[in-house]
Homo-oligomer: A and B are copies of this chain.
């Protein structure tokens, strides 16, 4: 019989089919590996030599003739810094200009360099770049939320193989994010504690869903994971905003992020995944009700009509089993 579990941060329910769940190893690509990529691809807009195929760089790390990372506005920007943020409203309709920012962080000059296989120092530099861009985008007083994310592989919704992250700054805090913040605020009002810190403490105490714990971070498969192998990386130092991450945490984050990505790479044979940095709305950064964290969603299954029509996900893996599987993968 299946089990309904509730995510305390969203109140969403997930169905975990205990007897009929797949074994963790069944989620592996099982040899269906990607075609090998060259180190350099002349057609790739992110490869060195093709700098003119992206909009002008906002930032370049390393030397300009041998860069290590480049930050460029997204050529197909979802939001761009033109027009204003006024709403136009009539009848039941409401719209505004697509004001905002949308940048791409090209994480390496090497076309086939997978982040999971990079040296920790390079991952540290990438996270530094995320923070730099976050702080830069925050300067625009119209910006109310900044979303950093990464798509890896076609099933994650990207067509570009060259390692990159994206950062979108929006003048509108969407209900998806506002709601999480409100639930955490209510928990704080009720208990005087951060909901996410409570969740983290309880997960560490139960232990069975922990993948890795280091001095500064914990990686776990949450009790009410919506997706197989969904992984949260949560900081032990309480902070609402990723923008406030300090250097020593960045070092620690690089280590645990590499471990988690490498365990996925080895354990499931380089699955497609999305990575998202969840952080408080800019105007709420100083509030202690929230905890920034990273969510990694391997794209191993497809949402169907039930998920799209109810918001209840069916997770075909058991978080306790996938976490145990991940713990055992040696690096």
Choice from B95, B150, B151, B199 contacting A4 with Cβ under 8 Å: B95
State A98–B3 Cα separation when bound (angstroms): 4
The residue of chain B having its C-beta at the shortest distance from the C-beta of A89 within the complex is B6
Known: A275-B305, A305-B157. A13 touches B78 (CB 8 A): no
B308 near A98 with CB under 8 A, answer no
A92 sits at the interface (CB 8 A):
yes
Residue of B nearest to A96 (CB): B4
| A155 contacts across to B, CB distance below 8 A | 302
Query: Is there contact, CB below 8 Å, between B310 and A5?
Result: no
B-side contacts of A158, CB under 8 Å: 304
Q: A3-B97, A274-B308, A310-B168 are in contact. Are A174 and B78 (CB under 8 A)?
A: no
Chain A 171-188 interface residues, beta-carbon cutoff 8 Å to B: 172, 174-177
Is A2 in contact with B78, judged by CB distance below 8 angstroms? yes
Q: Report chain B residues within 8 Å CB of A172.
A: 4, 13, 312
Residue pair A6, B94 in contact (C-beta under 8 Å):
yes
Given known pairs A3-B98, A97-B1, the reply for A310 and B15 (CB within 8 Å) is no
Q: Does A32 interact with chain B (Cβ within 8 Å)?
A: no
Minimal Cβ-Cβ distance residue in B for A302:
B157
Nearest chain B CB to A175's CB is how many angstroms away? 5
Q: Contact at B309–A199, with CB atoms within 8 Å?
A: no
Is A157 touching B304 in the complex (CB atoms < 8 A)? Answer: yes
A142 proximal to B (CB < 8 A): no
Interface residue A278 (Cβ < 8 Å from any Cβ of B): yes
Name the distance in Å between A168's Cβ and chain B's nearest Cβ: 6
Q: Are B308 and A297 in contact (CB under 8 A)?
A: yes
Any B CB within 8 A of the CB of A156: yes
| Interface positions of A from 290 to 331, Cβ below 8 Å from B | 295, 297, 301-312, 314
A309 near B80: Cβ-Cβ < 8 Å? no
Bound Cα distance A93, B151 (Å):
30
Query: Which residue of B92, B168, B311 is within 8 Å of A174 (Cβ)?
Result: B311
Task: Compute how far the CA of A311 lies from the CA of B309 in the bound complex, rounded to whole angstroms.
Answer: 15
Answer yes or no: A91 CB below 8 A from chain B CBs. Answer: yes
Let me know if A43 is at the binding interface, CB within 8 A.
no
A274 near B305: Cβ-Cβ < 8 Å: yes
Chain B CB within 8 A of A8 CB:
yes
Residues of B within 8 A of A147 (CB): 306, 309-310
Kindly state whether residue A11 has any CB partner on chain B within 8 Å.
yes
Distance between Cα atoms of A105 and B132 in the complex (Å): 54
Q: Besides the contacts A91-B202, A274-B304, what 17 more A-B pairs have beta carbons closer than 8 Å?
A: A1-B80, A2-B77, A2-B80, A2-B97, A3-B98, A4-B95, A4-B98, A4-B172, A8-B92, A15-B78, A78-B306, A78-B314, A170-B310, A172-B312, A174-B310, A278-B309, A303-B303
